[in-house]
Amino acid sequence: MIIGNANVFVDGKFQKGSVAVENGVITAIGPASWSCDVDAEGRYLVPGFVDVHTHGAMNEDFSDGKPEGLPTLSRYFAAHGVTSFLATTMTLKEEVLTPAMHTIRDFVRPADGAKCAGIHLEGPFLSYAKRGAQAAENLHKPDADLFRRLNEASGNQVRLVTVAPEEEGGLDFIRAVSPVCTVSIGHTTADYDTAMAAYAAGASHATHLFNGMPPLHHREPGVIGAAFDSGATVELICDGLHIHPSAIRTAHRLFGEKLVIISDSLRCAGMPDGPYELGGQPIEMKNGKATLQGTDTLAGSSSNLLAELQNVVAFGIPLEDALTAVTSAPAKAVRLDGEIGSIAVDKRADLLLLNPDLTLHAVYVDGEQII
């Protein structure tokens, strides 16, 4: 199949062209004049989005361990341009996380859904002081054996784990686990020196930068300064509620291609306002804003990568940079850039056609049009 007459996003830039796909893989990138099977009519042809931090949507949550919930989630993501996602769990007890790992391991993508590219363990190895919406009673000291048991239960699908490096055993955990998957610093009180030590020990990512960590102070630069100095990739929740647009513009100038837009979406995404649950705690969504019930503590988002792409472009981030932050940057951050996240020969043919106003026109997964 050839998708022609497109504005193709290749190597961070747009070029007029065509893309050939065979057996689910991109086989060639050619001129716009190629005779084609699908006429893109000048639309943007971009890689499918990669969300490395999403807990749920449509009243389903990966932590539930409910097999019937996963196809619903997979279809929801595809409908918002996300072709690969990391199923992200909350801070819960091992006996709750283990069945969730089994469910994710056994998930088979529905023909009209997005791919599960692995798991993000957001906790339980987090700091009490910066737990945010994570349940205090389920926090656990960094423990590489517990990580190994969970990873094994998932069929070795954990691609990302968030840890607070200042907790006892934090640096040993990072040394043990970073050869297995990407280790991210988050939900942490780490100061600059501790965060630098964590990056030197093998961490390479920061979980929802700004949220759940000390701010960037001119004498206490903390995780944000250390991530910058270490060349780490950094997540950013761009729902317009978690981070002021000015801080998003600042992070964009600081982190460039290292910026990874995430949804951090919860089961209330795609649902009406009302009461919901997150990691064993009651939450409430009002006007799309989710908080721990009865508090002002933000509890993740009700957004998705397509809406966030539209947000950041409206905030002044160039489209090319915003696209990098939802495609190749997240794929690289979790070591999947050999397969997904870019339009290049031999990569999976996970592609989107976007209209000029950045709404979704078509979604292809493994070369098959599913939307």
Ligand X SMILES: CC(=O)N[C@@H]1[C@@H](O)[C@H](O)[C@@H](COP(=O)(O)O)O[C@@H]1O
- Catalytic positions, written as ranges: 264
Which distant-in-sequence residues (6+ apart) come within 8 Å of 323 by Cβ? 9, 46, 47, 309
Residues 251-270 that bind ligand X (CB under 6 A): 264
Q: Which stretch binds ligand X (CB under 6 A): 169-177, 190-198, 296-304, 358-366?
A: 296-304
CA 59 to chain centre: 19
Mask for 95-134, x = binds ligand X (CB under 6 A): -------------------------------------xxx
Answer whether the bond into residue 124 is a cis peptide, omega within 30°: yes
Pick between residue 251 and residue 370 the one whose CB is nearest to ligand X: 251
User: For ligand X, which is the closer residue by CB, 212 or 367?
Assistant: 212
Question: Nearest-CB residue to ligand X?
Answer: 132
- Please calculate the CA angle 85-370-39 and round it to the nearest 5 degrees: 120
Measured CA distances, 275 to 12, 63, 284 (Å): 41, 18, 4
- The site string for ligand X over 200-239 (x = CB under 6 A, - otherwise) reads --------x--xx---------------------------
Contact in structure between 117 and 336 (CB atoms under 8 Å): yes
Among 65, 300, 330, 341, binds ligand X (CB under 6 A): 300
- For residue 304 the two structure tokens come to 């998705």
Query: Residue 7 or 63: which CB sits closer to ligand X?
Result: 63
DSSP letter, residue 89: E
Least distance in Å: CB of 184 to ligand X? 13
Least distance from C-beta 142 to ligand X, angstroms? 17
Least Å distance between CB 55 and ligand X?
6
Cα–Cα distance measured from residue 357 to residue 343, given in angstroms and rounded to the nearest whole number: 21
Q: Of 17 and 214, which CB lies nearer to ligand X in the complex structure?
A: 214
Burial class (CB in 10 A: 0-12, 13-18, 19+), 365: buried
Alpha-carbon span 197 to 183, nearest angstrom: 13
Residue 293 engages ligand X in binding (rule: CB under 6 A): no
Distance in Å, CB of 300 to ligand X, minimum: 4
Residues 342, 350: Cα–Cα separation, whole Å: 9
Q: How far apart are CA 237 and CA 192, in angstroms?
A: 22
Shortest Cβ distance from residue 315 to ligand X (Å)?
Answer: 17
Q: Which is nearer to ligand X, 134 or 328 (CB)?
A: 134
SS3 297: coil
State the minimum distance, in angstroms, from the CB of residue 6 to ligand X: 36
Site mask, ligand X, residues 16-55, x = CB under 6 A?
A: ----------------------------------------
What CA–CA distance (Å, rounded) separates 205 from 160?
9
Alpha helices (runs of H) in 91-230, residue ranges in sequence order = 94-105, 144-153, 170-177, 192-201, 222-230
| Interface with ligand X, residue 310, by CB under 6 A | no
Neighbours of 137 (CB within 10 A): 9
Number of residues that bind ligand X (CB under 6 A): 12
Min. distance of Cβ 156 from ligand X in angstroms? 24
Please give the Cα distance from 113 to 71 (Å, whole number): 7
**Cβ closest to ligand X, residue 132 vs residue 341:** 132
Q: Does 298 bind ligand X (CB under 6 A)?
A: yes
Interface residue list for ligand X (CB under 6 A): 132-134, 208, 211-212, 242, 264, 297-300
